[in-house]
Amino acid sequence: MTQLENLSPIDFEDLCRDIAKSETGIRFSAFGPGPDGGIDGRHSMGDGIVVLQCKHYGKSTFSSLKETARVEADKVRKLAPNRYLFFTSQSLTPKKSDELAKIFGGLLSKSDDIWGREDIEAALKRNPEIEKSHIKLWLSSTAVLERILQSGLEAFTQSTKSEILDDLRVYARNPSFDEAIDKLEKEKILIVSGPPGVGKTTLAKMVSYNYLKDGWRFYAINSLEDGFTKIEEDNPTVFFFDDFLGRIELDRQSLLQRDTALSVFVKRVRKSKNSRFILTTRAHIFEEARRLSDHVDDGRLQLAKYLLDVGVYTRKIKSHIFFNHLLVSELSHGHFASLLEGDWLSKIIDHKNYNPRIIASVSSDCIDSIEPSDYPQYIYTALQNPDFIWRKPFTTLDMKCQNLLISLFFSSQYGETIENLRMNYMGHHRTVCLFYSQPIEPNDFEEALQTLESGFISITNKEVTFVNPSLRDFLKSYLTNHELLGLLAKSARRANWAGNLWQHVKDVYGAHEDELSFFAMCFKDFAGNIGATPTYKRVQKNGKTYLHHDDRPIAERLELLFDWWESSRDDYFLQTMC
């Protein structure tokens, strides 16, 4: 017997579309959350449409199913489909099927176009590949759960059987799962990488479960030495190393050695027919490892080719994740109802800071203390607070990387060219490092760019931007240290950067005139050179010369000087205007 009850309504719809495609030979289009007009799947033909409708009513009464069927039948009649398929997770007797057929009337072109639980399970037996592709159908079986618990995976993650099932119910399968399986089968090594909180470990565990179902052993390792003792050619084994570059400094530094333990272990796994190696890492740490050692990407190791970046979700997948978390939560009817009011669902799903880790937290933590009417605002406020995601990753970066992110923050909010970012960074980085007695290397800028790319920043056409707007929001609330802001003001090289920094200082200390006077004086050295950078630059392209905006217009620079004079009453700022 399959575990249909472990599927969410969205999961059930996905399953029914796969079965309908296999049984009818036609592909059904899926639709995102929202009013569906009676359609859970549609196939358009030249002369009409085939409509698929799915009702996950396994725990409801047949009376409830019939009442819903009457409502849905009226909707479907308006569509006038050529064929109508109705799937339900309820068990149907011949009598119940006949009652539903009467409700649907002329909509049904075939008597067997009503599918009950038994029909679905029979189809899965005929099409075992469909069951295998829907992890929630088989992972929740007692035999598989026991195999997982005995494997060591959940001992490592300290999960119980019920917690495994909870993880399973909220998991929203997305294309990265199939990509991960394909890459792991092809290369035997899989490195799951991405920004904080996007589900790296969850995906790695789901991929591991996929192998455990087929009888593979599992070993979670804390060091590569643990893995060497477990490779056995006769026993299919999945090795799992969570956060393999970020756990201890020695693992990262060992990459500097030519014949590292990682290199040897990867080679052994690659040669073995019955070994697979799954690793997770934060993107910026992997990039740092590549910078530290050319051996990471040389011809013999080439870790980059095993890399799978995750964290980019479609609107449908984000909706699916959110819905699944709500489904397994212990929210009251009132909490659910409040989410349906106004446009709260869209504001949450489409929020620029949407992150699975935040969604998991707001659907499970201390919900009893939150009034139902306040619940949507509670979720929205959590999404508005990026500190939850970025504080720990940012504070563990070294100074050269932190300084680059700070330099980017005070550049244009739409991104900055590498050339201009370098100019801002060099003045800022040197000033801060000298003040705090930190070493400076000639290639700090290039190394910081490489380390931060994909995990914190994106680089496209020589333009650098934050990988997610929430990182800028975090820095806005984080950068309040009086000493640091004063150092930044003294290090300014470009008018646009200085203006953005000054506006930030006013946002933080605007109510304190003495503080603004102090910071204005910190810009005094820069004021003498405020006209050093051009407003426009000539750019040659396709044999033609264009003027591109480069720095603040002269009028805005004069406004800055006057603002600093007004805050400090130092006539030097007025003199520089002449």
**What are the pLDDT digits (tens) for 240-256?**
887 776 543 334 444 54
- pLDDT of res. 298: 53
Q: Which residues contact 127 (CB under 8 A, 6 or more apart)?
A: 19, 22
Same domain assignment for residues 280 and 361: no
Flag whether 492 is in a domain.
no
Q: Give 39's pLDDT tier (boundaries 50, 70, 90).
A: low
Same domain assignment for residues 240 and 320: no
- pLDDT of res. 258: 38
Handedness of CA 291, 297, 302, 305 (dihedral sign): positive
CA dist., res. 377 & res. 369, Å (int):
14
- pLDDT of res. 259: 42
Same domain assignment for residues 430 and 515: no
Please report, for the domain that includes residue 393, its CATH number.
Answer: 1.10.10
Flag whether 159 is in a domain.
yes
> Judging by DSSP bridges, how do beta strands 48-55 and 41-45 pair with one another?
antiparallel
Q: Which residue has tokens 């995601």?
A: 389
Residue 393 reports pLDDT greater than 80: yes
User: What radius of gyration, in Å, describes the C-alpha atoms of the chain?
Assistant: 29
Same domain assignment for residues 276 and 163: yes
- pLDDT of res. 264: 79
Helix H or strand E segment including 387: helix 387-395
- pLDDT of res. 67: 93
- pLDDT of res. 250: 35
* First CA to last CA distance, the chain: 86
Residue 184 reports pLDDT greater than 70: yes
Same domain assignment for residues 243 and 293: yes
Same domain assignment for residues 276 and 170: yes
Q: Give 87's pLDDT tier (boundaries 50, 70, 90).
A: very high
Q: What is the tens place of the pLDDT at every residue in 291-303?
A: 555 555 555 556 6
CA dist., res. 121 & res. 116, Å (int):
9
Instruction: Give this prediction's pTM.
Output: 0.60
Mean pLDDT over residues 541-557, rounded?
84
CA dist., res. 3 & res. 572, Å (int):
77
Same domain assignment for residues 281 and 380: no
- pLDDT of res. 61: 92
Is residue 443 exposed (0-12), middle (13-18) or buried (19+ Cβ within 10 Å)?
Answer: exposed
Flag whether 188 is in a domain.
yes
Residue 407 reports pLDDT greater than 90: yes
Average pLDDT in the chain: 83
- pLDDT of res. 430: 96
Q: Which residue has tokens 């050339």?
A: 419
CA dist., res. 16 & res. 86, Å (int):
9
User: Where is pLDDT greater, at 338 or 281?
Assistant: 338
* Residue where a domain stops, chosen among 384, 400, 427: 384
> Judging by DSSP bridges, how do beta strands 114-115 and 237-241 pair with one another?
unpaired
Flag whether 459 is in a domain.
yes
Flag whether 497 is in a domain.
no
User: Where is pLDDT greater, at 415 or 539?
Assistant: 415
Q: Which two tokens stand for residue 569?
A: 């009453």
Helices 482-490 and 513-522: crossing angle in degrees, nearest 10, is 40
Same domain assignment for residues 291 and 146: yes
- pLDDT of res. 248: 36
Mean pLDDT over residues 485-510, rounded?
95
Q: What is the tens place of the pLDDT at every residue in 409-436?
A: 999 888 899 999 999 999 999 999 999 9
- pLDDT of res. 18: 93
CA dist., res. 72 & res. 75, Å (int):
5
Q: What percent of the chain has pLDDT over 70?
A: 83
Q: What percent of the chain has pLDDT over 90?
A: 40
**Closest to 358 (Cα-Cα) out of 470, 472, 244, 208:** 470
Q: Give the residue numbers spanning the domain of 525.
A: 504-578
- pLDDT of res. 29: 80
Domain count across the chain: 5
